[in-house]
Amino acid sequence: EAQVTQNPRYLITVTGKKLTVTCSQNMNHEYMSWYRQDPGLGLRQIYYSMNVEVTDKGDVPEGYKVSRKEKRNFPLILESPSPNQTSLYFCASSLGLAGDGETQYFGPGTRLLVL
Amino acid sequence: DQQVKQNSPSLSVQEGRISILNCDYTNSMFDYFLWYKKYPAEGPTFLISISSIKDKNEDGRFTVFLNKSAKHLSLHIVPSQPGDSAVYFCAAPRGANNLFFGTGTRLTVIP
């Protein structure tokens, strides 16, 4: 089954404790992104990747890191989480560029609470 | 800067009736619009799209209308079914690999 998976689905952590949210897709997609969803703000892109070892900032990259060492995986790293990073996070992948109207396939989401 | 706006946070309709979800945008250069649907505890899934060279696109019970002069698009669901209850996001391409998303409209279809 074609899908994007994220782990963990739910996470409660404390300020400053490094964490990683994993994302994996099995569709051989070139393009991957991370979004966060906050009430009243819709989805906002954090980082995206256009290929292995090629990543770039989205709209809200502060406090986040990403890596793309393999085509299928795109982990999101919070080196020192803060309460304002409490949010719902989605990983997405696509065959082509979202800017060209290409459909993005989203993971199920990771709900993060930073205390 | 909210370039794609969904001004109605929620909408309730009776099963079998028409649901109309609205979206306004500010940038006349957008050349593509998409609608995504999201169920609780799941990620958004693509529903339907429309190119700016068209004013209508239909897929089964779902039709999207685009009014470029008004910078407005709408998603019509006819007939509405309880399984359509979800949050609907409109979106427009932004940059190379990004989208402007609206804030979403929660549709509840009452059996």
pLDDT tens-digit readout, A8-41: 999 999 999 999 999 999 999 999 999 999 988 8
pLDDT tens-digit readout, B43-96: 999 999 999 999 999 999 999 999 999 999 999 999 999 999 999 999 998 877
Is any Cβ of chain A less than 8 angstroms from the Cβ of B29? no
CB contact under 8 A, B43 and A107: yes
Mean pLDDT of chain A: 95
Instruction: Check the CA dihedral A8-A11-A13-A15 and report its sign.
Output: positive
A90: pLDDT strictly greater than 70: yes
Which of A100, A108, A109 is opposite residue B93, by nearest beta carbon?
A100
- The pLDDT of residue A99 is 81
Is any Cβ of chain B less than 8 angstroms from the Cβ of A50? yes
User: Closest Cα to residue B102, out of B81, B77, B78, B72?
Assistant: B72
> Coil, strand, or helix at residue B9?
coil
- The pLDDT of residue B1 is 67
Helices (H) and strands (E) in chain A, counts: 0, 11
pLDDT tens-digit readout, B10-37: 999 999 999 999 999 998 888 899 999 9
Q: B65: Cβ–Cβ under 8 A, 6 or more apart, which residues?
A: B55, B56, B73, B74, B76
Is any Cβ of chain B less than 8 angstroms from the Cβ of A10? no
